[in-house]
């Protein structure tokens, strides 16, 4: 028998567990650990609440959790409740799938002013992440800005621009829906250091902006290279650019009170305000020979009392695990960190790719594990029983699959009309549900 610990129950953790189960069958026990009593990582706390069809991927993960060789052990934070070295004593292999939950810093003056928030915080706030339940982003101004040109920036801008009615069927958390109902924001500027060709936004997410009830996308046609330049683009990307060009060719709909303004070639240089964010000073850029943004020296001001930076994420370092400071992830070679220690998903490759990208990643890492300790081989490690004994001596109470189900059922049972669930937003609330 082999015992494997997969740390993190997001997509990467679940795909790895699925692959390990396929490779080892009843020759292994696989424990998926998570710091929270409920699983799914960014499927629960990141993917937008108005994108329910994407969240349905969790049904596949449920099947993995229900399979005979796999257990969920929640409410255990690795690096705090138990170290990686201790896990390696208890398990044959430890696979770190802890994602990249920290916002990258802008590195400009004024970014610590009230009103400036990272996208992990903002997204966590509207998705019911316990750490960000109290964020209270300022929504009383008229102007907001989102810094970044990826899908996360689009998610933030779209959530700010939607009406109450448009959240029907979503699982946006109640406190965010109430706050957004009272929002005064009418202009959301999306700032990108480079041009339309350099965006990392996908067609589906961009296309949605053309159908918003209360907001029009505004794009300046002068920002685009000549149309022939689109021919060299990869088809999906070309589609995104075609959608953007379509927005540029469509006048703003005056019957809609909100504007989502794409400001390309705009590099934030500082944030100013009297005790809180009021303005971003932006430098106009152009592309250099290598396609990087080069400042032109011309600056201007973008008003914004809420500023969301959506410029990427990093994995937090964990004691005893080699760390790649520049990449903001664990130092690893194709998923291998060291003897019996592996990384997968965003913790392995950094914060890029879709949910599906984590599948081949998980399968690849499971193959590495199987090559290092072939199915059929065995060891005398204690696995889950040893883990639980150790945690008990530390007063840590892990949760299991039944606890997770009880929490989910309770959330669904207390859902508002039109919402699939009403999420618990504090760890204490989860534990209360379990009678602890």
Ligand X SMILES: Cc1cc2nc3c(=O)[nH]c(=O)nc-3n(C[C@H](O)[C@H](O)[C@H](O)COP(=O)(O)OP(=O)(O)OC[C@H]3O[C@@H](n4cnc5c(N)ncnc54)[C@H](O)[C@@H]3O)c2cc1C
Which residues are at the interface with ligand X (CB under 6 A)?
7-13, 33-36, 41-42, 46-47, 51, 54, 77-79, 97-99, 123, 152, 155, 345-347, 353-355, 358
DSSP string, 71-99: EEEBS--BTTTB-HHHHHHH-SEEEE---
For ligand X, the closer of residues 10 and 138 by Cβ is: 10
For ligand X, the closer of residues 69 and 130 by Cβ is: 130
For ligand X, the closer of residues 77 and 299 by Cβ is: 77
For ligand X, the closer of residues 28 and 347 by Cβ is: 347
Count of residues making up the chain: 436
- Rounded (to 5) percent helix, strand, coil in the chain: 35, 20, 40
The CB-of-301 to ligand X minimum distance in angstroms stands at 28
Nearest to 360 by CA among 9, 7, 12: 12
- Tokens representing 263? 């400001």
For ligand X, the closer of residues 11 and 195 by Cβ is: 11
Beta-sheet strand order (sheet of 279-287):
266-272, 279-287, 293-303
The CB-of-217 to ligand X minimum distance in angstroms stands at 18
- Under 8 Å between Cβ of 172 and 165: no
The CB-of-218 to ligand X minimum distance in angstroms stands at 23
- Tokens representing 104? 């990258």
For ligand X, the closer of residues 42 and 369 by Cβ is: 42
- Tokens representing 71? 């257990």
The CB-of-287 to ligand X minimum distance in angstroms stands at 27
- Say how far apart CA 336 and CA 92 lie, in whole Å: 14
The CB-of-53 to ligand X minimum distance in angstroms stands at 10
The CB-of-282 to ligand X minimum distance in angstroms stands at 24
The dihedrals phi and psi of 103, each to the nearest 5 degrees, come to -70, 140
State the residue number with the nearest CB to ligand X.
10
The CB-of-107 to ligand X minimum distance in angstroms stands at 20
Cα–Cα distances in angstroms (integers) from residue 340 to residues 13, 76, 92, 364, in the given order = 16, 21, 7, 15
- Tokens representing 103? 């916002």
For ligand X, the closer of residues 189 and 358 by Cβ is: 358
The CB-of-246 to ligand X minimum distance in angstroms stands at 22
For ligand X, the closer of residues 95 and 282 by Cβ is: 95
Beta-sheet strand order (sheet of 2-7):
70-73, 28-33, 2-7, 93-96, 341-343, 336-338
């Amino acid at each position: 028998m082999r015992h494997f610990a997969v740390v993190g129950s997001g997509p990467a953790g679940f795909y790895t567990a699925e692959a390990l189960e396929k490779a080892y069958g009843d020759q292994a026990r696989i424990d998926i650990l998570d710091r929270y009593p409920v699983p799914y990582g960014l499927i629960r706390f990141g993917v937008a609440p108005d994108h329910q069809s994407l969240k349905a991927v969790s049904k596949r993960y449920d099947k993995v959790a229900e399979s005979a060789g796999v257990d969920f052990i929640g409410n255990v934070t690795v690096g705090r409740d138990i170290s990686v070295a201790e896990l390696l004593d208890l398990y044959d292999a430890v696979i770190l799938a802890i994602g990249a939950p920290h916002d990258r810093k802008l590195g400009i003056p004024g970014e610590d002013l009230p009103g400036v928030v990272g996208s992990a915080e903002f997204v966590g706030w509207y998705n019911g992440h316990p750490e960000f339940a109290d964020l209270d982003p300022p929504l009383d101004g008229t102007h907001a800005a989102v810094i970044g040109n990826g899908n996360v920036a689009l998610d933030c801008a779209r959530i700010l621009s939607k009406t109450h009615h448009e959240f029907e069927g979503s699982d946006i958390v109640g406190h965010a829906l109430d706050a957004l109902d009272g929002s005064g924001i009418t202009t959301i500027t999306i700032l990108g250091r480079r041009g339309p060709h350099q965006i990392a936004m996908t067609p589906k997410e961009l296309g949605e902006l053309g159908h918003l009830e209360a907001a029009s996308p505004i794009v300046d046609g002068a920002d685009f290279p000549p149309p022939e330049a689109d021919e060299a683009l990869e088809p999906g990307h070309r589609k995104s650019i075609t959608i953007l060009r379509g927005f540029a060719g469509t006048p703003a709909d005056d019957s809609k009170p909100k504007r989502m303004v794409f400001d390309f070639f705009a590099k934030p240089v500082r944030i100013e305000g009297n005790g809180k964010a009021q303005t971003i000073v932006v430098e106009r850029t152009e592309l250099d020979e290598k396609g990087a943004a080069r400042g032109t020296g011309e600056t201007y001001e973008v008003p914004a009392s809420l500023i969301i930076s959506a410029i990427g994420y990093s994995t937090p370092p964990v004691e005893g695990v080699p760390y790649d400071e520049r990449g903001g992830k664990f130092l690893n070679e194709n998923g291998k960190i060291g003897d019996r220690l592996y990384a997968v998903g965003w913790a392995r490759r950094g914060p890029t790719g879709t949910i599906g990208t984590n599948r081949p990643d998980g399968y690849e890492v499971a193959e590495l594990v199987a090559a290092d300790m072939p199915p059929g081989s065995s060891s005398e490690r204690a696995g889950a029983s040893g883990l639980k004994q150790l945690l008990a001596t530390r007063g840590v109470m892990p949760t299991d699959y039944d606890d997770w189900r009880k929490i989910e059922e309770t959330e669904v049972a207390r859902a508002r009309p039109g919402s699939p669930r009403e999420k618990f937003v504090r760890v204490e609330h989860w534990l209360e549900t379990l009678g602890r």
